[in-house]
């Protein structure tokens, strides 16, 4: 149903400008069709949508209307929609599908998409889906699931077009014309030795533009790289992005070809990893906009609890200076400024460091230099803000020494912020912990504690 | 030079585990070769490195050794290294190259890479590079530069393999075999009508596996989409990621083919956009790990200044309650807890909202629902932390009413945090401002002000 009163505060303009996103108009038509149980109107309205758009639509709907839409849409439901759905609502969408529709949907998917679909389901749903698969597909899916989660082996597709290294262009073309089960999308022919180990690859463009007698080995690409099946998918995505790979063969421990990863899979991983870092830095776990209230409350509670712990730590520091605060109440007014500036500066340094670690731009080769630079930057900005705040503090409260204390505390806290902002992520990376995970909490704990301690401590010494 | 004392605090393990990143050992060899002016050793050590790795290496070095390396490396310097370099040091690397090396390097690049290279240079360097290009390349580059920065027209490559829509597979293959200037990488043949408007495309795989008499039009892909040359590259990247495109033709206002964008270009844009959002959310502009201290000081100063403004605003709120603070100094000890919890909860909501806006998962269709959910989540977590903090406050200071005040302020601030966390990015998006840009500052201003006001205000009413 259209909810006319809500449009006023929404980013209507931005959405209308957008070429790709679901249009509000389409969404209204679809909601109206569901409301009136009009199957023909629903199918007509959904017809122009890509499965990825339909998945977005389902994610944006409330559970009730969503289930009604799925029931009404019936057998039109395409398997690809399941692949595109966010994990957070996959289980409930699958539960809403009739057994026949689910069977058809799952059978229409490629085996690597089925793997991706299964990964996040509970065991009962996994078994239900495995059961409806035809035998060869089931075997392929089960084999893929034998690789560790998040590994290249899970990410790859098993169908690869290969040719013996001694073949020429004509042989390759004739072979491909004769094959009926070529993969949907492929960009390279992988050259293999007699033991089925990849030794190079040629692009289809080169094959197509060369004479039939040209040897494939003479057309090999320089960019050829193989990927171990056990490699972390994050490293795979990094390699694709860093070296501009289009596809790369995956090999087992003996170097034998087991599958291929293409850039579109790597792009999805890259995008997911970036999202994960962004959310982790903000103290949000694996959260989605489609999550229910109870889910996000449970997700965020532990992060807030950790923050409460550090906030109490900061309060314990303040509590040491109760007598000072009692004597000069202006300190209570000004102290959040020092902590806030330190927290901000620390977050700046930390975010740059976390990102640089993720892109491998911060390494042993430049860590010392980066630390030195952050400390210097903290010192310089610290001095600048010390001057500003010294003046503000003096004008506000008329006590020159208060300005000096505020300025000194600012310098100390911004230097510490720069140092902690780089060191915390570096140490976490070294300990094998994702530096995006809890760096933020540690860094602001340091800047809060140091900020309050420096300001109130100096005030106690210099003003009392 | 190896700096042996620095290895102790560096993430040595993580780097050694890594399959792709530059190895510390290689970097040491390279630094030693530069130090001893040993050109052969330098070339030998750099030989296995990809241009992208060499670019990373240059970014990680200090300016002095970097210039010495470039001078020593001389004519081995590959044009692709320039393309891979971070903008922050491109100008200084180009300045360090001898005119002959620069000419060779630039001439070896494809025209779209030259465009990318030129974009961020100052005018003098732009002209110097345009001058050394051969005439057809210069024309191509100048034409690309006529499209607005950040548009599909800038991103595309001009070389496209096309075929009339009525051709069959045999005609296409013969045509390609006869052509000498095929692009380095291409995945599709674009079918065009007589007015050179793209009407569909076929994958090379389909062409190669079909009989010579098959009509190309019968092999067309469903996924075909064209991209207007004026479209924002961010939207292009979104479309590639959302619809799993591999390549897409770019058209002018009349729908005529002007170029093609491939997924590898889209992947770079996507990765850059994600980085930009991450850094903007942390109050860091367009910063890189290779920036000099003076650059990062200047970059971060305005953000810290904005934060100072909001921190002073919060202090002004506190200043209204000086009498209350004077009477009960415990309030000064506890008040940062309320603000800190609100700031954290607000950042959580905001980050989820900013990300969902970027991925088009937060739209007019679900905004009301998301706002309601965030407010409910704030309320529920607020109540939970109110209970915890109420008890902590009571035990700590022995005043039951202090616990009640703390708990109530916590509930108010977490609800406001949830509301502000979604509304601020939504309103910024609606106003055409990047929601990642300043949402953080606004949200924490709201939670600081509300947090201090609610806590101290309630204390004034209920405790005095």
- Choosing from B229, B253, B279, the residue where a domain stops is B279
Q: What is the pLDDT of residue B20?
A: 57
Q: Are strands B198-203 and B188-192 parallel, antiparallel or unpaired?
A: antiparallel
Q: What is the pLDDT of residue B73?
A: 93
Position B286 in a domain: no
Tell me the residues of chain A between 139 and 168 that have a Cβ less than 8 Å away from chain B. 161
Range of the domain at B201: 162-279
Same domain, A340 and A443: yes
CATH number at residue A194: 3.10.580.10
- Choosing from B279, B310, B329, the residue where a domain stops is B279
Same domain, A31 and A91: yes
**Which residue in B439, B84, B82, B122 sits closest to A360, CA to CA?**
B84
Mean pLDDT of A323-331: 94
Q: Which residue of B has its CA nearest to A179?
A: B209
Position A429 in a domain: yes
Same domain, A304 and A451: yes
Position B284 in a domain: no
pLDDT along chain B (464 residues), means of 10: 38 40 83 94 92 91 92 91 89 90 89 84 86 87 89 90 94 88 86 96 90 94 91 92 92 94 92 90 85 91 93 95 94 95 95 91 88 95 95 90 94 97 94 88 93 96 91
Q: What is the pLDDT of residue B19?
A: 54
Position A333 in a domain: yes
Tell me the residues of chain B between 9 and 68 that have a Cβ less than 8 Å away from chain A. 9-15, 18-22, 24, 27, 50, 52-53, 56-57, 59-62
Confidence band (pLDDT; 50, 70, 90) for A1? very low
**Any chain B CB within 8 A of the CB of A318?**
yes
Are A281 and B279 inside 8 Å of each other by CB? no
Mean pLDDT of A315-334: 95
Q: Which residue of B has its CA nearest to A310?
A: B337
Are A368 and B3 inside 8 Å of each other by CB? yes
pLDDT at A197 > cutoff 60: yes
Same domain, A217 and A130: no
CATH number at residue B142: 1.25.60.10
Residue pair B190/B201 in contact by the 8 Å Cβ criterion = yes
Are B347 and A207 inside 8 Å of each other by CB? no
Residue pair B88/B291 in contact by the 8 Å Cβ criterion = yes
Same domain, A260 and A300: no
Q: Structurally, how many domains does chain B consist of? A: 3
**Any chain B CB within 8 A of the CB of A442?**
no
Tell me the residues of chain B between 98 and 127 that have a Cβ less than 8 Å away from chain A. none
Mean pLDDT of A194-213: 92
Percent of chain A residues past pLDDT 90, beyond the cut: 61
Q: What is the pLDDT of residues A138-178, one digit of tens each?
A: 888 888 889 998 999 999 988 899 999 999 999 998 998 88
Looking at the complex, report in whole angstroms how far the Cα of residue A44 sits from the nearest Cα belonging to chain B.
18
Q: What is the pLDDT of residue B16?
A: 34
Q: How far is CA B351 from CA A280, A411, A463, B375, B424, in A?
A: 10, 29, 41, 15, 11
Q: What is the pLDDT of residues A367-376, one digit of tens each?
A: 999 999 999 9
Q: What is the pLDDT of residue A209?
A: 85
List chain B residues with CB under 8 Å of A274: 271, 274-275, 278
DSSP state of A151: B
**Any chain B CB within 8 A of the CB of A429?**
yes
Q: What is the pLDDT of residue A14?
A: 34
Tell me the residues of chain B between 239 and 298 that have a Cβ less than 8 Å away from chain A. 239-244, 246, 263-264, 266-268, 270-271, 274-275, 277-279, 281-284, 287-290, 292-293, 296-297
Q: How far is CA A423 from CA A429, A440, B387, in A?
A: 10, 12, 35
CATH number at residue B297: 1.10.357.20
- List of residues 6+ apart from B175 with CB closer than 8 A: B163, B167
- Choosing from A240, A261, A281, the residue where a domain stops is A281
Are B315 and A336 inside 8 Å of each other by CB? yes
Same domain, B25 and B112: yes
Same domain, A123 and A24: yes
Position A157 in a domain: no
Q: What is the pLDDT of residue B25?
A: 85
Same domain, A303 and A268: no
For testing the chain A interface, which of B5, B336, B413 should be mutated: the one with the most A CBs within 10 Å? Answer: B336
Position A129 in a domain: yes
User: Who wins on pLDDT, A232 or A122?
Assistant: A232
Q: Which of A2-6, A190-194, B326-330 has the lowest mean pLDDT?
A: A2-6
Same domain, A314 and A459: yes
**H/E segment holding residue B227:** strand B227-228
Are A19 and B239 inside 8 Å of each other by CB? yes
Looking at the complex, report in whole angstroms how far the Cα of residue A122 sits from the nearest Cα belonging to chain B.
25
Give the per-residue SS3 of A193-217.
Answer: CCCCCEEEEEEHHHHHCCCCCCEHH
Same domain, A104 and A234: no
* Predicted complex ipTM: 0.87
Q: What is the pLDDT of residue A6?
A: 38
Looking at the complex, report in whole angstroms how far the Cα of residue A224 sits from the nearest Cα belonging to chain B.
12
Q: What is the pLDDT of residue B159?
A: 85
Residue pair A111/A157 in contact by the 8 Å Cβ criterion = yes
Same domain, B28 and B139: yes
Tell me the residues of chain A between 363 and 392 that have a Cβ less than 8 Å away from chain B. 363-370, 373-374, 376-377, 380-381, 384-385, 388-389, 392
Same domain, A134 and A16: yes
List chain B residues with CB under 8 Å of A204: 187, 204-205, 208
Residue pair A308/B341 in contact by the 8 Å Cβ criterion = yes
pLDDT at A339 > cutoff 90: yes
Q: Which residue of B has its CA nearest to A214?
A: B177
Position A262 in a domain: yes
Distance CA A272, CA A234 (A): 9
Q: What is the pLDDT of residue B15?
A: 33
Position A155 in a domain: no
Q: Which of A8-17, A38-47, A158-167 has the lowest mean pLDDT?
A: A8-17
Q: What is the pLDDT of residue A10?
A: 35
Are A179 and B209 inside 8 Å of each other by CB? yes
Task: Please list the alpha-helical segments (H only) found in A197-292.
Answer: 204-208, 233-243, 263-281
């Amino acid at each position: 149903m259209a909810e006319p009163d809500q449009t006023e505060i929404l980013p209507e303009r931005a959405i209308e400008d957008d070429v790709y996103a679901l249009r509000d108009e389409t969404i209204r038509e679809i909601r109206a069709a569901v409301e009136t149980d009009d199957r023909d109107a629903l199918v007509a309205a959904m017809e122009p949508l890509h499965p990825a758009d339909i998945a977005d639509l389902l994610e944006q709907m409330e559970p009730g209307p969503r289930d009604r839409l799925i029931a009404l849409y019936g057998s039109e439901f395409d398997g690809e929609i399941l692949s595109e759905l966010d994990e957070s609502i996959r289980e409930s969408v699958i539960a809403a599908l009739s057994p026949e529709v689910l069977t058809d949907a799952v059978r229409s998917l490629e085996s690597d998409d089925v793997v991706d679909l299964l990964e996040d389901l509970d065991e009962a749903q996994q078994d239900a889906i495995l059961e409806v698969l035809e035998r060869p597909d089931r075997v392929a899916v089960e084999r893929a699931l034998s690789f560790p989660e998040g590994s290249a082996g899970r990410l790859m597709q098993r169908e690869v077009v290969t040719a013996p290294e001694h073949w020429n262009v004509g042989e390759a073309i004739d072979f491909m014309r004769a094959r009926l089960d070529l993969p949907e999308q492929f960009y390279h022919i992988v050259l293999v030795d007699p033991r089925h180990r990849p030794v190079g690859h040629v692009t289809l463009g080169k094959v197509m533009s060369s004479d039939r007698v040209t040897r494939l080995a003479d057309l090999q690409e320089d960019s050829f790289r193989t990927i171990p099946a056990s490699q972390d998918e994050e490293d795979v995505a990094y390699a694709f992005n860093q070296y501009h790979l289009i596809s790369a063969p995956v090999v087992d421990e003996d170097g034998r070809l087991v599958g291929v990863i293409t850039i579109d899979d790597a792009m999805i991983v890259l995008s997911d990893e970036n999202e994960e870092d962004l959310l982790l830095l903000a103290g949000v776990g694996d959260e989605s906009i489609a999550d229910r209230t109870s889910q996000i409350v449970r997700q965020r509670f532990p992060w807030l609890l950790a923050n409460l712990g550090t906030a109490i730590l900061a309060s314990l520091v303040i509590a040491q200076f109760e007598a000072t605060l009692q004597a000069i109440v202006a300190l209570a007014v000004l102290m959040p400024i020092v902590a806030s500036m330190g927290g901000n500066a620390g977050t700046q340094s930390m975010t740059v460091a976390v990102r640089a670690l993720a892109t491998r731009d911060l390494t042993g080769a430049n860590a010392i230099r980066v630390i030195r630079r952050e400390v210097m930057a903290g010192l310089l900005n610290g001095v600048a803000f010390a001057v500003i705040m010294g003046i503000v503090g003096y004008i506000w409260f008329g006590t020159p020494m208060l300005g000096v204390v505020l300025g000194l505390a600012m310098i100390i806290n911004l230097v510490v912020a720069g140092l902690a902002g780089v060191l915390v992520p570096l140490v976490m990376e070294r300990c094998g912990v994702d530096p995006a995970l809890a760096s933020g909490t540690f860094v602001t704990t340091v800047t809060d504690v140091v900020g309050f301690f420096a300001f109130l401590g100096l005030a106690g010494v210099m003003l009392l």
